[in-house]
Structures are given as structure tokens and as C-alpha cells.
Amino acid sequence: VQGISVITLKPLETALMIAPGQYVYFHLHEEKFPFSIAEQRADSSLVFHLRHGASHPQAQALLEHLKTVGRIPLSGPFGKCVLPNPPQPCLFIAGGTGISPHQALIDHALSLSFKQIELYWGLRNLEDCYLQAW
């Protein structure tokens, strides 16, 4: 989808201990930017969704940095967005690339056999539906 990138980064050092729904900070030029983790794969790589372009300069700068340098410092994880225990019906509401932490939580809920999960995902237009296979 134009203007949205799904990027995968693999930590160079030890794997981060991440719970579904958490986020990390990307450190770029003495600034830090929070990004939610959409998925942590079995090989410890992390998946992020970024909307970029002129109206999203932080994400655009991050992508340019990754293209030229190939890596970026991270810190975290942070955040306490977790699934209820015991499992109970869940409602997720997201907009655009804000689906990232919800994707991680929903995948985790499905692995735990949650019985009732509803997702409302607001998009600017149909072309922004970049997770059709999911």
C-alpha cells in the first residue's frame, strides 16, 4: 500500500522479552519515537507498521535512516496493554497503522482460545487495508 510500510527488524544482541501489545522507542538523531510492535517472530525479529510521507516526517526519517544505515537503536519494551485473564470477550478499535498493537494482541488471544473477539478498524480508504491476508 502506498504510504504504508511493514518493516521487520532483528535485534543484533539478545532477544527482547516482549509481551503482545507493547512498544519500543526508535532512537534517531538524539530523539526517540515510539512505535508499536505488530508481531514478534520465532527468530526474535520484530514487525512494525509505519505510515510515512510528507505528513509523517518522523516515520519518513526513520525509513530513510534504515535505507542508508541499515540499523537503528531501540529501547524497551514499554507499555502495559494486556489481555484480560481469565479470557473474556474483547473489543478492539483501531485506526490506520494503529492496528499494530491490536494485531499482536488478537494473534495472542487466538492462541489462547479466546472465544469472542471483535475488531473495528477505521481506514481512510479501501486501499489502506494493507493486512488483507491477516
Q: State residue 1's pLDDT score.
A: 59
Q: State residue 52's pLDDT score.
A: 81
Residues of the chain with pLDDT under 50: none
Q: Is 104 exposed, middle or buried (0-12, 13-18, 19+ CB in 10 A)?
A: buried
Distance CA 30, CA 24 (A): 15
Q: State residue 37's pLDDT score.
A: 93
Q: State residue 108's pLDDT score.
A: 93
